[in-house]
Structure 1
């Protein structure tokens, strides 16, 4: 009967589901006859009832909970040696779903209840109050709702409570203050209100207290000064006001996190003496005032100081030389300027901080000359920001010593002199921001040494000379800004061949001359291109039409002549086009009416003829054509003269008739040809797909090869096709036979797409198509099938989501598979003519051979770029939900960047073993966000634990493994960015993955290639 109830529950709402399970417990509890006697029987029955309310157990953790084992040997259960009663119930991080049974209150000997990091829901049972021996309660990272039970105070032995990351509401109950032994209270990231209650100060044993991320409001109560043993306080993002005075007597504090509140007041000058054990002091984004006390120098154990976004003022007098372990200093967005000559003396004191990684001194009104001692900072320093201050003088040459830097921000100051060539030594630099200064001289050739650079911002300076062609060596450049300088010469061809440029290339407001090189068409991923206000001449290059990702193009204020090239019609995503103040001529091209332009400026040229009255031309604020004396027509608001009458209207009728006659004739011819071809195709093979031994394949042969398309031979089933394993007796060769469901809409089109895509391409990582069959079955119905090389190791989806999935794949194999898939994409995108977009990349379409080499298959949604094949046909959703690029949902055409998005999601799925439609990914949380939030320091939290298991015993290399995992996650996040233009280039993906593979292969002491199960 209980099984019937469970089936009913699965089809019911969550509330009905809950009551169904309670009823199931009652029914079952009257029918089970455990083999345990006395007190032990109570614990057995309780555990069984707990299991009944778990609705989903993805890892099978509770399969051992049966009569074949004593319950003390069940997974997660620990019993006392004397009484054989349950003392520990630890089921954390197992993906469990369902409810926490009220019967848990019957485990009267329980000391530790640990159910953290699951997906349990409902209210926290009030029956917990019966657990008088309970010491630790961990229910964090679940979906518990309702209030914190007040009767939890009956668990008077409780020492640790962890309820973070749930959906609890209401206020903190007063009864918690009765727990005199409580040392650890963790309630962050719930929906608690009512402030931090003063009665909590009565718990004198408190060591750690966290309420971060709750909309509590109120102030920090004075009674917290009674916590003489407190070491950690976390009150960030709580909408707190008032001061932190109540914390000053808590001398054992090591961590103070009170960020992003509305705290006021100043810090006492002796704050360093008050907190001698301080490790982390984070008070950023408050309203604190006064000086930053020099006594902070006495906190010799301090590692993390974040005081940015406050109103601190006066001279910064902290002696950082005493803080040898500090790695994070962020004091930006304050008002420290003192106008004293040695205002920046504190920078010299940082040279002893050998662990320093991040220094943010931005927007703090610092003045003076940047000292040469800046070059003495730690080699571990990777982030340095001094932007938006009042600094002047030259940039010190010693800055080239900071070889660990990946981000350097010095913009919005008053620096003069030239850019030191030593910046070329910063081989790890990814972001260099020097804009809005008064720098002069040339851009050093050494900039070309920065091979990892992705953002270079030099605009609004006084730089002169030519743009160095060495910048073409920055193969990872995403955006370049050199506008508003005094640069001259021609645009270097090599710069335009940096295919990674995908965000912005801005060369405007300089003195560049000559024509624009045709290589500009190589910038296929670029979003914004600005060449305005130079002296560029010649025609607008037609190759600009190859920049298919452009949304903004400005050629304003140059000497361009001739007509607008028709190739610009291919810029389907163009929103802004400014070609004003040139010498362009001719009529306004018709294709400009069809583009989705939001702004079009054609003013002050020599255009002639009629202005259209559709598209962007219907909005006087969006279109400007002034200064073209020979334009006419358009909407009334433009104020242009009417166009002279022509005879074109007299020709409309005969032209219209001719078009209809031609169209109807062509339709008749095509229909007759199609009918004839279809009749002749019975029992014939697609000639383009004849290959190897399969000259002709009939329906009968496929029927025999698959044992009558039997269920036993079925290896896959989808919406438009089924795949069967088959064998031909001629050579005992296994094949995969994909039979199209022609009754389903789009199936036949999918057949022809796949034939067209695969008939002329070959690559080791593409699924090989052997032949096809277009025939009729024995009932006279149309029959179409494709025959592929058989992949004995199945699909990547099977390896990820079967019961023993990823545990069989080690990191080296995963990396090899990802390289295989990336290589296939690189081939179809960049080496096929015409290029091919796959359109449905996902784990189930990645097949593996005996050697675990990955093959990309299923080209049923593929598109050949640059052709008209299927371009205008409606295919509904392009791809699979979760893997399809977001721009497809807006109706945009399929592009190679859509495949990159799908590949990024695939990477994240492989490492997290979470589908993009996983239940935990809801309320705006996507797989991309889930992974990106873990970067850079918490990646291991999202990695599937099975991947790490094989390496846990080797502590010397586990950190290297974690670094490799973080690098792969970063690639997945970069590929799955929302904006197509910002997604990672496939060639860069392969380069990065190959580097990771080399690292893995060089790690000693780890056996990667363990024999796989058959």
Structure 2
């Protein structure tokens, strides 16, 4: 028994030793595996750190010290500014976000070392060179935003090969070449933004066939060829191809994109018919096909797009009639069919529109009577333009229903009868143009109510009687043309009739003057029986001689040649126009076209030949001190800036006029809704505004202005200071988008651009100038921050900083601060309406109003050190805007 027991125990002992040995081996292997894995993770993290340092090495200028924390002796790269890492191990870089930091340099290929990168946002810096091909090889990259830099060269082919990339924004660079076909084959892209580059060639055939695409913006390049065909898509909502060289027909397959909300094809060379299949775009709210060569009739299917707010088909070759089904466009706000070949009558049921702000049917072949129903549109406020047609009959008395109408133009038709008595009910009318018709009778006394009128043209009609004395009482009137009628009797002597250059009376042989003959008319006799008559034949002979002499002088002057040229940068980027072009666009600098006047310049509304859009033309008074500096500054600002909330220039003119004198002008986009000042202070501008600004609109305007200032201060190198920010320099587009204008006083922080940096000169307006500049402080971004704060408080209270309410050393800041926050409702604009779906007043006050007022008070702190920067201000207001929109 003993030996057996011994053998059993021996086996147990040997088994125990074997098990121990096995455990030891497993522990050893496990330990080595952990060491290996840890080392591998560490290597990957270090690889990311080195890639970031390599990226930094390509940056030559970092004025805001955005990369200050990116140091070689710092191992914790996840704490570096603009770097975001994953939570899971191993730690990897997943996001780089260094936006608007004014970085200068190149984008290093080392970025390819960040193999886990998901988002890269380097938008609105000053990076140059090419976009590295290696970016498309980042297997996890979903978002790429390099907009607003100076990248040149081609778009990397690799971007289309990425299986993860869904968002690509390369807008506002200097990229050239073609759109790579690889982008067409991408199965992941949903947003493509390539606008404002120098891309050429055709749009790849498959680019617009991806089922995932939702947003495509290719505007303002040099793309040519045809628009590709579309397959059935249900994701694409925004397609903008305007401002290119596209030709050929609009494909019928466009009807496959039923999800489209905005379709902009304007300013190309498209021809052929508008496809009938367009009625499949049932969600469309904006359709712009203006300024092309489209022909044929407008398909009936267009009138089925019941959600349209903007319909722009101007300046084409469209023919046929406007059908009665036009009334289906119940949501229409902006309606442009001008400069076509449309014929027939204006349909009566066009009066069913309930949201229409602007109607332009000018320069067509329309005939028949003006329908009475047209004057029953309650919202028609921006303008009604029926000029240059073949309309007949009388002006309906229902015109008096348009009490908010700003512009009425029925000139160059065949209208008869007298001016309606009811026209005097249009008390908001600023411009009345009825020239070149067959109107007769006397001017009704009711027109004396049109006290805000600025421009009147009744020339070339058969109007009789005396010139109404009340025209001399219109304080805003700056142009009146009643020439070539049959008026008689004395010319009024008050108001505008004291300025012979603003009044046109020729061709009325019965007129006379009661005082000094400033118009060259006979002095009125003591009695009507001894009235003197003008020697009409002699007048015609003298006029002809003067005309011949003027023509000879102009020809001689033109032969002298120009003496000045536009800045070189503008030669390359902007279309040149001549003095004659400016002359024609402004109707020979007609006062009827002048919309504002300052010491250094006059601004006219006009339209260039072969163009469809109105422009604002700023003509500089070169004989006045400061005007040349103002012109140079505005040119420099325009050359160095581009932002949706800054007024954009169309073109400029720097030449000599027909008298051999130097001439300078800049043409800007025309802002249909005027200035913010007109909306906040309507009484100063002749009455109540056409629409009241709601809180939501004021917030959106504030966000737009803040965004523009953030761009000027933080996205430009060197920073740009406006130096005269006020409601009068904030302009509103047709959709109430805000744009800052008038950069004549602006300064860049470094010398050499826009005049020397330093003390504020003549720029600025009392009430908006930061207090430290009265003590000799140098210009800084704090100047605009203070002005913005005043503007924000003014917009919310409708109180000017110079109002008596803020007098006796009590600034607008102090006035509002006394009521903040508990009694803030007492100082708010009493005319500010609530949004239709707004919350209760107390909740609205706490969530939106008080925070906005708080921002305004912070911006207007007396010490510049206590004011926030525009980047923070913009972020706060945008957050409020987004909360209101929820």
TM-score by length of 2: 0.59
Q: Does 1:294 align with 2:294?
A: no
The aligned counterpart of 2:730 is: 969
Matched, 1:44 2:29: no
Q: State the alpha-carbon separation in 2 of the partners of residues 432 and 95 from structure 1.
A: 49
Q: Decide whether the 8 Å contact of 1:294 with 1:318 is kept in 2.
A: no
Contact 2:272–2:295 under 8 Å retained in 1:
yes
Shift of 1:102: 2.8
- C-alpha deviation, 1:580, in angstroms: 7.2
For 1:204 and 1:239, the matched residues in 2 are separated by 26
Q: Which whole-Å CA distance do the structure 2 matches of 1:129 and 1:296 have between them?
A: 41
Measure how far apart 1:387 and its partner are. 1.0
Structure 1 position 955, deviation (Å): 5.7
1:601 maps to which of 542, 546, 549: 546
**2:5 paired with 1:264:** no
- Contact 1:905 / 1:972 at 8 angstroms: preserved in 2? no
How far apart are residue 328 of structure 1 and its match?
1.4
User: Partner of 1:505 in structure 2?
Assistant: 503
1:252 aligns with 2:259: yes
**Shift in CA distance, 155/965, structure 1 to aligned 2, threshold 3 Å:** farther
Q: Residue 320 of structure 1 contacts residue 350 of structure 1 at CA under 8 Å; is this kept in 2?
A: no
Q: Deviations over 1:1-54 (max 9, x none)?
A: xxxxxxxxxxxxxxxxxxxxxxxxxxxxxxxxxxx9643333334334444444
Q: Which residue of 2 aligns with 1:1012?
A: 862
Aligned to 2:783: none
1:191 deviates by 1.8
Q: Is contact 1:293–1:318 with CA below 8 Å preserved after alignment?
A: no
CA contact (8 A) 2:97 2:122 kept: yes
Distance in 2 between residues matched to 1:91 and 1:250, nearest whole Å: 36
1:934/1:68 Cα in 2 relative to 1: closer, same or farther (>3 Å)? farther
Q: Who is 2:443 aligned against?
A: 443
1:216 has 2:223 as partner:
yes
Higher RCO, 1 or 2 (CA under 8 Å, sep at least 6)? 2
1:885 Cα shift? 9.7
Matched with 1:958 is 699
Judged with a 3 Å threshold, the aligned counterparts in structure 2 of structure 1 residues 466 and 122 are, in CA distance, closer, same or farther, namely farther
1:242 matches 2:252: no
User: For residues 627 and 553 of structure 2, what CA distance do their matches in structure 1 show?
Assistant: 36
Q: Structure 1 residues 120, 579: CA separation in 2 closer, same or farther (over 3 Å shift)?
A: farther
Q: Distance in 2 between matches of 1:97 and 1:445?
A: 67
Aligned residue runs from structure 1 range 127-138, under 5 A: 127-138=134-145
Counterpart check, 1:581 vs 2:579: no
Q: Which consecutive residues of structure 2, in runs of 5 or more, have no partner in the other structure?
A: 1-40, 526-533, 558-596, 601-617, 654-663, 677-694, 706-724, 732-738, 746-761, 769-789, 801-811, 813-826, 830-848, 866-886
CA distance in 2, matches of 1:933, 1:210: 21
Change (3 A) 1:357 1:49: farther
Cα contact 2:417–2:438 (8 A) shared by 1:
yes
Q: In the TM superposition, what whole-angstrom CA distance separates every residue of 1:231-265 from its partner, at most 9, and x where no partner exists?
A: 33222232222222231333333222222233233
After the TM superposition, which residues 387-536 of structure 1 pair with which residues of structure 2 at under 5 Å, given as runs?
A: 387-496=387-496, 504-511=502-509, 513-515=511-513, 531=519, 535=522
Question: What is the DSSP-based 3-state SS (H/G/I as helix, E as strand, rest coil) of the residue aligned with 1:411?
Answer: coil
Question: Could you tell me which of 316, 319, 327 is aligned with 1:313?
Answer: 319
Classify the secondary structure of the residue corresponding to 1:456: strand
C-alpha distance in 2 between matches for 1:617 and 1:201: 56
Secondary structure of the residue aligned to 2:404 is: coil
- Note if contact 2:383-2:406 (Cα within 8 Å) is conserved in structure 1: yes
User: SS of 1:440's equivalent?
Assistant: strand
Taking the aligned partners of 1:453 and 1:89, their CA distance within structure 2 comes to: 56
Q: Return closer, same or farther for 1:216/1:471 CA change in 2, 3 Å cut-off.
A: same
Residues in 1 aligned to 2:517 and 2:95: alpha-carbon distance in whole angstroms:
69
Match of 1:731 in 2: none
**Structure 2 partner of 1:344:** 346
The change in CA–CA distance for 1:68 and 1:308 in structure 2 (over 3 A counts) is same
Q: Give unpaired runs (5+ residues) of structure 1.
A: 1-35, 521-530, 539-556, 562-577, 583-598, 605-615, 624-824, 830-836, 838-883, 941-953, 978-985
1:314 is paired with a residue whose SS is strand
Pairing 1:988-1003 to 2, within 5 Å after superposition: 998-999=798-799, 1003=828
* Alpha-carbon distance, 1:308 to partner: 2.2
Matches within 5 A, 1:107-256: 107-200=114-207, 203-222=210-229, 224-225=230-231, 227=233, 229-244=235-250, 245-256=252-263
Q: Does the 8 Å CA contact 2:466/2:487 hold for their aligned counterparts? A: yes
CA drift of 1:148 comes to 0.9
Aligned-pair CA distance for 1:285: 2.4
Q: Alpha carbons of 1:47 and 1:436: their partners in 2 closer, same or farther (altered >3 Å)?
A: farther
The alpha-carbon distance between structure 1 residues 462 and 929, as it changes in their structure 2 partners (threshold 3 A), is: closer
Give the TM-score normalised by the residue count of structure 1.
Answer: 0.52
CA distance in 2, matches of 1:439, 1:255: 43
Whole-angstrom distance in 1 between the partners of 2:309 and 2:639: 40
What is the total number of aligned residue pairs between the two structures? 608
2:323 is the counterpart of 1:323 = no
Distance 1:458 1:535 in 2: 22
Name the CA distance, whole Å, in 2 between partners of 1:924 and 1:344.
Answer: 33
Q: Indicate the SS of the match to 1:319.
A: helix
The answer to whether the Cα contact below 8 Å between 2:262 and 2:287 also exists between their aligned partners in 1 is yes
Q: Is the 8 A contact 2:509 2:536 kept in 1?
A: no
2:78 aligned to which of 64, 72, 75: 72
Give 3-state SS (helix, strand or coil) of 1:464's partner. strand
In structure 2, how many angstroms separate the alpha carbons of the residues matched to 1:114 and 1:324? Answer: 41
Q: Determine the C-alpha separation between the residues in 1 that align with 2:512 and 2:649.
A: 53
> 1:307, 1:74 → 2: CA distance?
52
1:494-543 per-position Cα deviation (integer Å, ceiling 9, x unaligned) = 133677x9x853222213544485696xxxxxxxxxx57x65699xxxxx
Determine the structure 2 residue equivalent to 1:379: 379
Separation in 1, partners of 2:743, 2:160: 50
CA distance in 1 between counterparts of 2:667 and 2:551 reads 44
Closer, same or farther in 2 for the Cα pair 1:189/1:917, shift >3 Å? closer
TM superposition shift of 1:377: 0.8
The farther-off stretch of 474-483 and 993-1002 is 993-1002
2:141 partner SS: coil
- The Cα shift of 1:974 comes to 6.9
CA pair 122-486 structure 1, distance change in 2 beyond 3 A: farther
Deviates more, 1:66-75 or 1:121-130: 66-75
RMSD of aligned residue pairs (Cα, Å): 4.8
Aligned to 2:112: 105
Change (3 A) 1:70 1:935: farther
The alpha-carbon deviation at position 121 of structure 1 amounts to 2.3
Q: 1:256-302 CA distances to partner (integer Å, 9 max, x unpaired)?
A: 22222332333455642x22222222222233333323333332222
The one-character-per-residue Cα deviations of 1:690-734 (angstroms, maximum 9, x if unpaired) are xxxxxxxxxxxxxxxxxxxxxxxxxxxxxxxxxxxxxxxxxxxxx
The answer to whether the 8 Å contact 1:905/1:916 transfers is no
2: CA distance, partners of 1:469 / 1:282: 45
- The counterpart of 1:88, out of the listed 88, 95, 100, is 95
Is residue 302–residue 325 contact of structure 1 (8 Å, CA) maintained in 2? yes
Say which SS state the counterpart of residue 336 (structure 1) adopts: strand
Contact map agreement 2:649 2:669 (CA 8 A) in 1:
no
| Secondary structure in structure 2 of the residue aligned to 1:313 | strand
Question: Contact between 2:497 and 2:503, CA under 8 Å: does it hold in 1?
Answer: no
Q: 1:601 to 1:388 in 2, by over 3 A?
A: closer
